[in-house]
Amino acid sequence: MTDEPKTVVITGASAGIGRAAARRFAARGDRIALLARGRTGLAAAAEDVRAAGGRALEIPTDVADYEAVDAAATRAENELGPIDVWVNSAFTSVFAPFDQIHPEEFRRVTDVTYLGSVHGIRAALLRMRARDRGAIVQVGSALGDRSIPLQSAYCGAKHAVNGVVEAVRVELLHDHSNVHITVVQAPAVNTPQFSWVLSRLPRKPQPVPPIYQPEVLADAIVFAADHPRHKQYWVGASTVGTIVAQRLAPRLLDRYLARTGYDSQQTDGESKRGTGNLWSPLDGLEGPDYGAHGEFDDRAHAHSPQAWLTRALTSIGRKH
């Protein structure tokens, strides 16, 4: 439990990593504004927050719309108090070879995953800089440092997210600001995205092992919010391994991914067709609540030695 409850805004809060993070912040008694498109998922996330001891505010929002994001930030401050922490977790994607992704689909992934993060950062900064305090936590991805086949739109957006976060961080340093921005770099995570993302693969999509439970990322997000001065936090062996391999042997990694990258992202079972959640939420008023977890509980790790080491080293550094 923190000394004082904080006001936290989470985008993509209706499912997956955002949903798990909402629970973790709620367990500290924080006040949480939940932003997402799916009203069924949002209502369930709000119940999770209240059950865990926090205060919840549901705000249906498409992060691709800046005016909607800015209005959500205003409402959050009016009803919950000044925003202390902003978490960008919303995204969408398409599983398909590049030439099978239509231009409007590529644009939509970019609008949500990249520009949605830009919108969140801007809305948070406009309020935090005036008070000279606050933390922005961006959920990143190993795929923002090293792209893989069949996810070109998502990889491009996550690369762009890393670029804008780095630029904003340096600007804040230049201004000696007490507002901080950091990235939690996610590995493969057991979230519902593999059940609701648009896919044109012949077989059912899956995360590339090793897979981690969303609570591992949620713990890292809360830790990053409390220790936001660091540039980034790596979570999971796959994240660290991918980044190291990209630095040391990029051409070998290219060949490895060309050989393994298609099969490793597909599992048994026919892929669902349709538009997925690209244009509208699957957890809308008539849809089910997908929750935080996907379909890979039996293969997902509940702990990450890399995340534990990051927290330990950060704590040691603060003591010295």
Q: Are 168 and 129 in contact (CB under 8 A)?
A: no
Task: Point out the least confidently predicted range of 107-121, 214-228, 262-276.
Answer: 262-276
Task: Answer whether the bond into residue 210 is a cis peptide, omega within 30°.
Answer: yes
Residue 285: the pLDDT is 86
Q: Residue with structure tokens 């298609």?
A: 262
Domain ranges of the chain: 7-315
Q: Average pLDDT of the chain? A: 93
State the pTM of this model.
0.94
320 pLDDT band, cuts 50/70/90, is: very low
Is 80 exceeded by the pLDDT of residue 305? Answer: no
DSSP character for 175?
Answer: T
Task: Point out the least confidently predicted range of 9-18, 80-89, 121-130, 201-210.
Answer: 201-210
Residue 248: the pLDDT is 75
Is 70 exceeded by the pLDDT of residue 303? Answer: yes
What percent of the residues of the chain are helix, what percent strand, and what percent coil, each to the nearest 5? 50, 20, 30
Is 50 exceeded by the pLDDT of residue 1? Answer: no
Which backbone phi and psi does 136 adopt, to 5 degrees? -110, 125
Q: Is the dihedral of CA 25, 27, 33, 35 positive or negative?
A: positive
CATH code for 7-315? 3.40.50.720
With a pLDDT cut of 90, the percent of the chain lying above it is 80
Q: Residue with structure tokens 């691709």?
A: 64
* Distance (Å, whole) CA 208 – CA 99: 22
Residue 238: the pLDDT is 62
Residue range 114-125: average pLDDT?
A: 98
Instruction: Give the residue from 141, 147, 149, 135 showing the smallest Cα distance to 17.
Output: 141
Q: Which amino acid is at 150?
A: L
Tens-digit pLDDT profile for residues 269-286: 887 767 799 999 999 888
Residue 18: the pLDDT is 98
Is 60 exceeded by the pLDDT of residue 319? Answer: no
Residue 173: the pLDDT is 97
Sequence-ordered strand ranges (E) for 117-215: 134-141, 179-186, 188-189, 198-199, 203-205, 211-212
Q: Residue with structure tokens 């648009």?
A: 198
Residue range 12-35: average pLDDT?
A: 98
Q: Which amino acid is at 40?
A: T
Q: Are 42 and 58 in contact (CB under 8 A)?
A: yes
133 pLDDT band, cuts 50/70/90, is: very high
Q: Is the dihedral of CA 182, 188, 189, 192 positive or negative?
A: positive
Residue 243: the pLDDT is 66
Tens-digit pLDDT profile for residues 222-257: 999 999 988 888 887 666 666 667 777 788 889 999
- 186 vs 251: which has the higher pLDDT: 186
